[in-house]
Amino acid sequence: MNDFSKHIGQRIRMYRKLKGMTLEQLAFQIHKSRASLCKYENGQIILDVETLYDISKALNVNCEQLIDFKKPKVFDEDQKNYVASGKSYFYHAKKLYFYFYDGWAKKLKTGIINISSEKDINNNYHATLFIALENNNDNKNKVYYAGKVIYGDMLIRFSFVNKYNSLEEDLIYIFNPLELRSSTYGLVTCISSEYLMPCAYKCLISLDFIDNIDDLKKKLLVSKQEINNLKKLNMLLITNSL
């Protein structure tokens, strides 16, 4: 089993589960046996191009979304020294992965934040965000946002405006961890597309793509302690304990 085949298998499993499909249902659509599909997902079989295309078509994703393999991030000495100097690696990351759990849709929502290398005239960095969504017909679509990011010693703030609906502005605060770690918690405030009301979600921002859906859901559900704090203080407080 090589890392690339294992990665493709993990992607297939992730998108299959996000679409709510069983092994049998996907296997039927691509005209393969359940056992063969199970081996694909476990990285035990190297996929041919035609099968990869059939799977991407059945899952309604691009082939590139299944083969976007990259080696796991390994912090080198320079990065460790950067953190030791008092700034987290999130300070100079140009691409971040954004996750939150939508309890109304009962689905994990994922997004990508891209940050510009150049500052604007106000000394801020431009940033974009796209979130992959599913409508009631299970057709994939994406919502695009544009905005900026401001870095602080303890928090990082992103402000985004929906490029197709200027009324919707999302504000994301995330912790700026001083220790060496690849993910951090935060809070996003926005407008619920289902209820058209102001809302807030607990979110997780990561330097690397995370494909363990079950573990992510557990991390993103509001904890009992957070609920107790909400009742006691009348405010939703998010901690940064992973």
CATH of the domain at 42: 1.10.260.40
pLDDT (0 to 100) of residue 139: 39
Q: Identify whether residues 103 and 187 lie together within a single domain.
A: yes
pLDDT (0 to 100) of residue 27: 93
pLDDT (0 to 100) of residue 47: 87
The answer to the question of residue 174 being in a domain is yes
Per-residue pLDDT of the chain (242 residues; tens, 9 = 90+): 567 788 888 889 888 887 788 999 999 999 999 999 999 998 888 888 999 999 999 988 888 778 866 555 554 554 445 444 455 678 778 899 999 998 888 888 899 999 998 877 777 889 999 887 644 444 345 778 999 999 887 889 999 998 888 888 899 999 887 667 789 999 999 887 777 788 999 999 998 888 888 888 889 998 888 898 899 999 888 888 76
Q: Identify whether residues 107 and 161 lie together within a single domain.
A: yes
pLDDT (0 to 100) of residue 135: 41
Q: Identify whether residues 43 and 148 lie together within a single domain.
A: no
Phi and psi at 31, nearest 5°, equal 60, 45
Q: Which two tokens stand for residue 127?
A: 């940033």
Give the pTM.
Answer: 0.63
pLDDT (0 to 100) of residue 193: 72
Contacts of 53 (CB under 8 A, 6+ apart): 63
CA distance 242 to 159: 24
- The answer to whether the beta carbons of residues 28 and 37 sit under 8 Å apart is no
Q: Identify whether residues 219 and 147 lie together within a single domain.
A: yes
Write a three-state SS string for the chain: CCHHHHHHHHHHHHHHHHCCCCHHHHHHHCCCCHHHHHHHHCCCCCCCHHHHHHHHHHHCCCHHHCCCCCCCCCCCHHHHHHHHCCCCHHHHCCEEEEEEEECCCCEEEEEEEEEEEEECCCCCEEEEEEEEEECCCCCEEEEEEEEEEEECCCEEEEEEEECCEEEEEEEEEEECCCCCCCEEEEEEEEECCCCCCEEEEEEEEECCCCCCHHHHHHHHCCCHHHHHHHHHHCCCCCCCCC
Q: Identify whether residues 40 and 130 lie together within a single domain.
A: no
Domain of residue 12: give its range.
Answer: 3-65
pLDDT (0 to 100) of residue 71: 53
pLDDT (0 to 100) of residue 87: 57
The answer to the question of residue 240 being in a domain is no
pLDDT (0 to 100) of residue 201: 93
The answer to the question of residue 203 being in a domain is yes
